[in-house]
Amino acid sequence: MSSLEIQTQPVQGIERCVVVHLNGTLDQPTLEAFLSSLKSALGEGSTRCILDMQQVGYANSTALGALVTQADAFREAGGEFVLLNPQPKVNLVIEMLGLNAMFPIFSSMEEARAHFAAPSSRPAALGRGSEAAAGAAPAATASFPLRAECIGCGMLLEFSQPSRFRCPHCGSVYVVDDAGRVTGSRPRGGHPIELSLPCQPQALRALQSFIGALPAWPGYSDEERAGLEQAIGEICDAIHQKAYEGNGQATFHLLVVCRDDELAIRIADHGKPLDASAFPRAAAYMSEFEHRPHPARGNFLKMAKRPG
């Protein structure tokens, strides 16, 4: 049965700041008590919150998604909500959901304290009326992380590096270049599908067929479907045989969003770190493909397939 210990303490030397220590499991059975503790902190006048996740062994996507609403509440009160040292397994889910673009994440209490103690920088405003002009003129030299308001929902986002990001609150998509230019486009719909699968042959083959059947683009051909299934099959085999060394009891996690013009996929495992050469077919077939190894704790794959 799920359990979660919650302890809230003021942070000495930082005005109106609390640290909330969690120990246990953050999921549906424990979510109400967790949210109640955050509401109590706000009600008592704390507008800055450091959520200590070091002792959270498991957190599901529903509970992590609820953090977005809590961050909204703290920001509306004039403060901020940050995460502290999530475990690797939890951090993978955070990355898969795109929440790392929503919350500052720190590896130590000293870093979190320094963040709140530093003078706040004014966030760059993204124009909510114009998608193409979403990024204001950047500084001559970009200084990451950058902060900007989401053009879709108005929430404050943080961009840690040049890359593509998606707002976890509304799904708006952003491209951040090396110069710090932020270009945003509004969400295109689609609902996330979250799966955790064992590395067993029948489950892996079923996954290939499932992913191959998702796109419904006009003119989507049998050849394209076969190519997508083959790319996913290569990834499954590499994770099973190389990352997990044939262990059929190991699991990996997927987040899939199927839109009218894109199939976005995130895959994470906890096995042996690999390099990009383990996925040549997927890298060549996908419209976008990114592999990022997590030293001593697995691999994170971020990809998208679009028509044509």
pLDDT tens per residue across span 248-268 = 999 988 888 888 788 989 999
Asked whether residue 9 falls in the same domain as residue 113, the answer is: yes
Q: Please provide the DSSP assignment of 88-151 as one string.
A: HHHHHHHHHHTGGGTS-EESSHHHHHHHHHSPPPPPBPPPSS-STT-SPPPPSS--SSEEEE-T
Asked whether residue 209 falls in the same domain as residue 182, the answer is: no
∠ Cα 143 107 71 (to 5°): 75
Task: Give the residue from 180, 186, 171 showing the smallest Cα distance to 135.
Answer: 180
Consecutive H or E run containing 277 = none
Number of domains in the chain: 3
> How far is residue 232 from each of residues 15, 192, 211, 293, measured CA to CA in Å?
50, 18, 8, 18
Asked whether residue 181 falls in the same domain as residue 214, the answer is: no
Asked whether residue 128 falls in the same domain as residue 113, the answer is: no
- Choosing from 55, 88, 117, the residue where a domain stops is 117
Can you give the CATH number for the domain in which 226 is found?
Answer: 3.30.565.10
Residue 37 has pLDDT above 50, yes or no: yes
CA distance 88 to 85: 9
Phi and psi angles of residue 151, each rounded to the nearest 5 degrees, phi first: -75, -20
User: What share of the chain has pLDDT > 90, as a percent?
Assistant: 46
Inter-residue contact 162 to 177 (CB < 8 Å): yes
Q: In what order do the strands lie in the sheet with 4-10?
A: 4-10, 17-26, 48-59, 80-84, 105-106
pTM for the model: 0.64
Determine the average pLDDT of the residues in 114-129: 56
- Choosing from 102, 117, 132, the residue where a domain stops is 117
Asked whether residue 14 falls in the same domain as residue 67, the answer is: yes
- Choosing from 140, 158, 187, the residue where a domain stops is 187
Note down the domain range covering 143: 123-187
pLDDT value of position 127: 36
Asked whether residue 224 falls in the same domain as residue 278, the answer is: yes
Omega before residue 29 within 30° of 0, cis: no
CA distance 11 to 254: 37
pLDDT value of position 134: 42
Determine the average pLDDT of the residues in 171-200: 78
Asked whether residue 209 falls in the same domain as residue 240, the answer is: yes
Over residues 207-251, the pLDDT tens digits come to: 999 999 999 888 889 999 999 999 999 999 999 999 999 999 999
Asked whether residue 161 falls in the same domain as residue 244, the answer is: no
Residue 34 has pLDDT above 60, yes or no: yes
Can you give the CATH number for the domain in which 18 is found?
Answer: 3.30.750.24
